[in-house]
């Protein structure tokens, strides 16, 4: 899993290196590192737009098979880290972001992670975040996006915890056809 470095979807990975890997997963997550194009501070609308462009850049990158943990931000820390209130982020983050991301992911054959790590994080970001996140998953599914399971696990107890994820997937209408298996994923442009 690689860090998306800027809104073009640039990665620190060559084509030769990518050819040696089964899958390339990428997502914006190291916002505060000097090698990453940092998001603007103090304005939630600008922050969301920056994050959205990085997600779009990643799904359009021909080396990327899967977008890792989209829209992960610990909004409880937004005032201290980013200079805006969580309510501002939630107001700026709309269904249109999911539609555009879903259409781009489908067009570029890039799967999107749905897994225990992001699921667990989203559930504890508050009711409005959780509802928007679940609605976003439904929108992505309606766009024809394929999903892959990823734990993004920082703790052993969340690796491969599909049992925790299954009730939400069933409620949202996901079926096995919506999930890509590593055994059948194949080349990005198949």
Q: Which residues contact 173 (CB under 8 A, 6 or more apart)?
A: 138, 141
Domains along the chain with CATH numbers: 2-178 (3.20.20.140)
Residue bearing the bigger pLDDT, 13 or 184 = 13
pLDDT in tens, 21-77: 988 999 887 777 888 888 889 999 999 999 999 999 999 999 999 998 887 666 777
Tokens of 182: 């590593």
> Quick one: pLDDT at residue 127?
83
pLDDT in tens, 87-128: 899 999 999 999 999 999 999 999 998 876 666 666 677 788
* Alpha-carbon dihedral angle through residues 19, 186, 108, 70, given to the nearest 10 degrees: -90
pLDDT grade for 154, boundaries at 50, 70 and 90: low
């Amino acid at each position: 899993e690689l860090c998306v470095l800027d809104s073009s979807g640039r990665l620190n990975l060559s084509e030769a290196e990518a050819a040696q890997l089964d899958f390339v997963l990428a997502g914006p997550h190291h916002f505060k590192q000097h090698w990453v194009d940092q998001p603007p501070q103090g304005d939630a609308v600008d922050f969301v737009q920056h994050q959205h462009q990085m997600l779009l850049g990643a799904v359009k990158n021909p080396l990327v098979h899967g977008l890792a943990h989209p829209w992960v931000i610990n909004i409880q820390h937004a005032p201290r880290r980013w200079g805006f209130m969580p309510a501002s982020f939630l107001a700026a983050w709309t269904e249109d972001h999911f539609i555009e991301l879903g259409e781009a992911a489908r067009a570029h054959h890039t799967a999107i992670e749905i897994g225990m790590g992001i699921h667990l994080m989203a559930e504890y970001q508050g009711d409005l975040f959780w509802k928007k996140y679940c609605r976003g998953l439904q929108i992505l599914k309606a766009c024809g996006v394929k999903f892959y399971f990823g734990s993004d696990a920082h703790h052993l107890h969340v690796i491969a915890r599909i049992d925790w994820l299954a009730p939400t997937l069933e409620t949202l209408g996901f079926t096995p056809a919506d999930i890509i298996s590593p055994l059948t994923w194949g080349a990005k442009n198949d």
